[in-house]
């Protein structure tokens, strides 16, 4: 049963006046009471259904103010929470940027994120001695290949030797022993080929800084240069040719001496 009487003046939360008609299923059927803009006389408007009506406009406004106050408190709490979340996001982004800046300070660390994302496609492997380099596809590198007697483990480590810094290394395993070779990660075959050329050019330049008598020539280095289109100075090729010729002469003399020794041992037996 409704607490309002038929024909009673009632009000909504905004203070608008209605004439009460009836209650239906928990809601109130009312008719609008409007005011003529010219004469100021009231007149009846449309019939409407309202969930809440009040006996006076003050009560309705109090209800509305209470709802608005509760909403404002929720908004304030949400804004504070948003501020905290934004602060946390800013701090996280700042830390990510700082970490990225630290990684960029080391050339080898700049590939770490690419490695974690699986963007590394090739390695340029550099032997510790003798010069030269080799391009290795990541598809040829596996954690364990027991049937091929190979075990390759990629590591990122600091170095305490004369080179210092941080280096990528690829471990090789064979017949119960293993060794490491320095590698340079690359994100494409083209990048690996360009890196190989840079390494070979640097090796040739380093070789040219040494006096002619102190240069250690390796045919492997020059073969790698030819393969990757790196020009080798003619003076180095001439020195290598001379070195090989001298080695051949020396070896021939050694063999001749060995033959003479054998002949000398066989001579008494022939008598």
Tens-place pLDDT, residues 34-70 = 888 888 888 888 999 998 888 888 876 777 777 778 8
The secondary structure of residue 114, as a DSSP letter, is: H
Whole-model pTM: value is 0.52
Which segments of the chain are extended strands (E)? Answer: 9-11, 17-24, 27-35, 42-50, 122-126, 134-137, 154-158, 166-174, 177-186
Share of the chain above pLDDT 90, in %: 17
- Examine the pLDDT at 5 and tell me if it is beyond 90: no
Please, what is the average pLDDT of the chain?
A: 81
Residues 19 and 28: beta-carbon distance below 8 Å: no
- Of 92-106, 134-148, 245-259, the poorest mean pLDDT is in 134-148
**More confidently predicted of 223 and 165:** 223
Output the pLDDT for position 53.
87
**More confidently predicted of 143 and 253:** 253
Output the pLDDT for position 133.
92
- Examine the pLDDT at 206 and tell me if it is beyond 80: yes
At 228, list the tokens: 């990757």
**More confidently predicted of 54 and 149:** 54
């Amino acid at each position: 049963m409704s607490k309002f009487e038929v024909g009673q003046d009632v009000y909504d939360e905004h203070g608008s006046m209605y004439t009460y008609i009836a209650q239906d299923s928990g809601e109130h059927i009312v008719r609008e009471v409007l005011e003529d803009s010219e004469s100021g006389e009231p007149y009846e408007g449309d019939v409407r259904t309202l969930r809440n009506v009040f006996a006076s406009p003050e009560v309705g406004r109090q209800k509305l103010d209470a709802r608005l106050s509760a909403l404002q408190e929720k908004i304030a709490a949400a804004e504070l929470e948003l501020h905290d979340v934004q602060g946390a996001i800013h701090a996280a982004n700042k830390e990510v940027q700082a970490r990225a800046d630290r990684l960029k300070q080391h050339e080898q660390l700049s590939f770490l994120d690419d490695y974690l994302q699986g963007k590394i496609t090739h390695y340029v492997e550099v032997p510790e001695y003798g010069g030269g380099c080799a391009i290795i596809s990541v598809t040829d590198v596996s954690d364990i290949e027991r049937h091929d007697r190979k075990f390759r483990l990629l590591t990122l480590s600091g170095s305490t030797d004369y080179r210092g810094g941080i280096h990528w290394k690829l471990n090789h395993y064979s017949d119960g022993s293993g060794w490491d070779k320095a590698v340079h990660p690359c994100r494409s075959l083209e990048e690996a080929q360009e890196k190989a050329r840079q390494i070979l050019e640097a090796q040739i330049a380093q070789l040219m800084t040494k006096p002619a008598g102190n240069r250690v020539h390796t045919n492997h280095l020059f073969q790698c240069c030819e393969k990757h289109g790196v020009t080798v100075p003619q003076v180095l090729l001439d020195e290598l040719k001379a070195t090989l010729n001298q080695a051949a002469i020396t070896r021939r003399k050694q063999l001749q001496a060995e033959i003479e020794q054998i002949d000398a041992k066989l001579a008494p037996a022939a008598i």
